[in-house]
Amino acid sequence: MDSCLFCRIIAGEIPGDFVLQEDDVVAFRDINPKAPVHVLVVPRMHVSSVSELARTSPAILAAMADAAQRIADAETGGHFRWIFNTGENAGQTVFHVHGHVLGGGTLGWSPA
Ligand code: AMP
Ligand code: ZN
């Protein structure tokens, strides 16, 4: 997808501050961090939403969860929040699925 920001970061056309690059999944730091640790976990495959990924490639979603935990283990003592904004009204701005890994210190707002 030539027009997709995250496809271009994955392809190396736009710089990314990568924390991991694996066969199916990469992770790079969010350019506008909302927590002391804010990393985006992204499949190499271009899929727009987490539900589409779960339906078509559940093993890749599982690999993303495993990557998120390893990033948190390395950077936040294993504690993290994992957010998928899904749809414009929920705040999704990049339509290449990504899980926000947020952690470090004590996170403030929580849905529960
Ligand atoms: P979302 O709003 O859930 O679609 O998340 C998109 C995220 O991508 C936002 O948190 C942005 O700060 C982040 N972002 C936008 N451009 C870049 C970039 N070039 N490198 C890293 N993160 C980015
Ligand atoms: Zn893409």
**Which tens digit of pLDDT belongs to each residue from 67-102?**
999 999 999 999 999 999 999 999 999 999 999 999
pLDDT at 105: 85
CA–centroid distance, residue 50 to ligand 2 (Å) = 13
Which residues, 6+ apart, have CB-to-CB distance to 17 below 8 Å? 28, 29
Q: Model confidence at 106, in pLDDT bands (50, 70, 90)?
A: confident
**Which amino acid type is present at position 59?**
A
What is the dihedral sign for C-alpha 15, 97, 109, 75? negative
Distances (CA, A) of 64 to 10, 20, 34, 52, 60: 15, 11, 20, 14, 6
For the residues of the chain, what is the DSSP string, one character each? -TT-HHHHHHTTSS---EEEE-SSEEEEE-SS-SSSEEEEEEESS--S-HHHHHHH-HHHHHHHHHHHHHHHHHHSTT--EEE---SGGGT----S--EEEEESS-------
Instruction: Determine the distance separating the centroid of ligand 1 and the alpha carbon of 58, expressed in angstroms.
Output: 23
Ligand 1 binding pocket includes 86 (Cβ within 6 Å): no
pLDDT, tens digit, for every residue of 15-56?
Answer: 999 999 999 999 999 999 999 999 999 999 999 999 999 999
- What is residue 109's predicted lDDT score, i.e. its pLDDT? 80
Which one, of 46, 97, 38, lies nearest residue 72 by Cα?
38
Ligand 1 atom closest to the CA of 16, numbered from 1:
20
Is the shortest distance between the CB of 94 and ligand 1 below 6 Å?
yes
Q: How confident is the model at residue 107 (pLDDT cuts 50, 70, 90)?
A: confident
